[in-house]
Amino acid sequence: MRNPTPFFHSFRHLLFGKAPRQFHRTLKKRLHAATSLGELREAFGAMIPDAFLSPAEAGENSRERIYTPLITFWAFMAQVLSPHVSCREAVRKVQAWRGLAQVIEISKATSAYCQARARLCLHVLRDIHEHLKSRIERNIPEAALWLGRAVKIVDGTNLSMPDTAANQKLWPQPSSQKQGCGFPMMKLAALFSLGSGALLDFATGNLHNHEGQLFRRLWDRLQPGDVILTDRGFCSYFAIACLLARGVDSVMRLHHARRIDFGKGKALGKGDTLLCWKKPSQRGAGSSREEFDALPGELALRLVTLQVDIKGFRSKAIVIVTTLLDPVAYPAEAIRELYFERWSVELHFREIKTLLGMDILSCLSPRMIEREVWLHVIGYNLVRALMQEAAVIHHVELGRISFKGTLDTLRHYADAVHALTGRPRKQAALIAAMLKAIARDPLPLRAHRSEPRAKKRRAKNYHLLTKPRKAMCVPSHRNRPKPALS
């Protein structure tokens, strides 16, 4: 008898007699894939081994549940890689796969799934991040290094989240906003790799924490021989001296508050001067007395002037401070070109905040906010790893591969890859086609384009919330005159 549903070929034995032993093994594999949202797992291959998400021997993740750590992680990841996907939609996704596998039906409520998300262990998420980060960094080609050195970029940004009492307590809103009219704000300092674009580590705080203090928490993530590239907000005598003691060189923009007399330095070339900085007379708020006393009395630093004549750039003259003193090994022009690469961190933040939706977090408690940030970081690095794999296989420059294009390609290929479960050859061929599609869609060359930070589309003409929502009284029409008092 001809099977009228060829896409469910393996399930025909459930209707037409006893199945052979091979069918039971195939069905077991498909059930496992269907109940673990395998489309993302199979698309990403072995980037995140299942061993990280195996049930714990004891504790809250040791019980046998429908929402195992494996299912919960990949359902949460599906929300991250497709922003604006609600928990209800994630639950429907799990229901759909379980319905396909013809296993027991689960509740349509989101409570069990939300509780399972809260049970994801932070140390497990950290281990997954470390594994993925190490994988990406190991695969950086030699040509992607800067003069043979690994360059790390650090910058800070702000994230907002729902206005709940618990979030406000940990990450209070700006003081300029009225009570009940603002949102909690998290300050985040992130360390990126210039060679791969991966987010290596991050530190979080509230608006009262300076970015320099958050940057200090990331110093242990730097290796001797690294070069740190930052904006002027991180430039200080204390930071440069401490990093140099760790074997880390700095390339930073000069802080606007520091005045320099170039006449007292030694000229190494045009716009290239060697100067000696004296230790500050007063200790800064970010260092202890012991740390301040341990600082060297002076530092030999190199100042490279960068003249910017590109349309759209606000700054016309930039002074770069660096501990790379050798003008032969590190030419001034190479340092100038390196500083222009600092702009890539703004693009990385745009990718993770705008394309993955981390700009406005959605969870209601600090416990879940932490997990949401970690899932965004892991999701960003997963896409970066996919971009790197496509670039290496097809010999394409990583900087020419689009993050948005990779994300769109992944979303559409993942379901097709999962549909070929149990057919490894065709599945491998489809994954290879996905990587080829990613590599064959390069970004256009947009050297020195002008992109002012201004919006063309106007916002809707709504009233602004100037009081708590329950106390706010909005007139029916803002242009209608108020009735005269009798």
Residues lower than pLDDT 70 in the chain: 1-39, 41-42, 45, 57-59, 61-62, 98-105, 310-315, 448-453, 476-486
Residue 279: inside a domain, yes or no? Answer: yes
pLDDT, position 426: 86
Distance CA 111, CA 239 (A): 46
Asked whether the beta carbons of 349 and 190 are under 8 A apart, the reply is yes
Residue 481: inside a domain, yes or no? Answer: no
pLDDT, position 480: 55
Which element (helix H / strand E) includes 403?
A: helix 403-419
Are 105 and 136 in a shared domain?
no
- Report the greatest alpha carbon distance in the chain: 94
- Bridge partners, 415 (sequence order): none
CATH at residue 127: 3.90.350.10
Strands (E), 64-112: none
Helix %, strand %, coil % of the chain (to 5): 45, 15, 40
Are 427 and 329 in a shared domain?
no
Asked whether the beta carbons of 216 and 193 are under 8 A apart, the reply is no
Are 26 and 77 in a shared domain?
yes
Report helix, strand or coil for 259: coil
Asked whether the beta carbons of 34 and 42 are under 8 A apart, the reply is no
CA distances from 381 to 66, 308, 482 (A): 28, 33, 55
Range of the domain at 90: 9-120
Residue 226: inside a domain, yes or no? Answer: yes
The encoded tokens of residue 157 equal: 């940004």
Bridge pairing between strands 151-160 and 227-230: parallel
Last residue of a domain, one of 92, 120, 148: 120
Residue 235: inside a domain, yes or no? Answer: yes
- List the one residue out of 295, 286, 384 whose CA is nearest residue 344: 384
Are 192 and 324 in a shared domain?
yes
Q: In the sheet where 227-230 sits, what is the strand order?
A: 199-205, 185-193, 151-160, 227-230, 249-253, 317-322, 298-307, 272-278, 266-269
Residue 134: inside a domain, yes or no? Answer: yes
Report helix, strand or coil for 465: coil
pLDDT, position 23: 40
Dihedral of alpha carbons 453, 456, 457, 460, sign: positive
Report how many domains make up the chain: 3
Last residue of a domain, one of 340, 355, 370: 355
Which element (helix H / strand E) includes 159?
A: strand 151-160
pLDDT, position 312: 58
Are 276 and 337 in a shared domain?
yes
pLDDT, position 31: 38
Q: Each residue of 425-452: b (16+ CB within 10 Å) or e?
A: eebeebbeebbebbbebeeeeeeeeeee
Are 316 and 231 in a shared domain?
yes
Distance CA 31, CA 34 (A): 5
The encoded tokens of residue 186 equal: 């998290």
Residue 101: inside a domain, yes or no? Answer: yes
Rg (CA), the chain: 27
Task: Tell the burial category of 240 from Cβ atoms under 10 Å away from its Cβ (0-12, 13-18, 19+).
Answer: buried
Are 243 and 327 in a shared domain?
yes
Asked whether the beta carbons of 19 and 12 are under 8 A apart, the reply is no
The encoded tokens of residue 300 equal: 């030999």
pLDDT, position 32: 42
Are 90 and 130 in a shared domain?
no
Strands (E), 181-339: 185-193, 199-205, 227-230, 249-253, 266-269, 272-278, 298-307, 317-322
Distance CA 136, CA 196 (A): 7
Are 179 and 288 in a shared domain?
yes
Distance CA 275, CA 264 (A): 7
pLDDT, position 83: 75
- List the one residue out of 259, 260, 217 whose CA is nearest residue 239: 217
Are 148 and 111 in a shared domain?
no
Residues 6+ apart with CB under 8 A from 118: 367, 368, 371
Residue 174: inside a domain, yes or no? Answer: yes
Are 114 and 129 in a shared domain?
no
Asked whether the beta carbons of 229 and 153 are under 8 A apart, the reply is yes
Residue 109: inside a domain, yes or no? Answer: yes
Are 163 and 309 in a shared domain?
yes
**Does the pTM exceed 0.95?**
no
Distance CA 48, CA 306 (A): 43
Helix axes 87-100, 69-81, angle to 10 degrees: 120
- List the one residue out of 3, 82, 117, 98 whose CA is nearest residue 379: 82
The number of helix segments (H) and strand segments (E) in the chain equals 15, 9
Count the alpha carbons within 13 Å of 451 in the hemisphere toward its beta carbon: 7
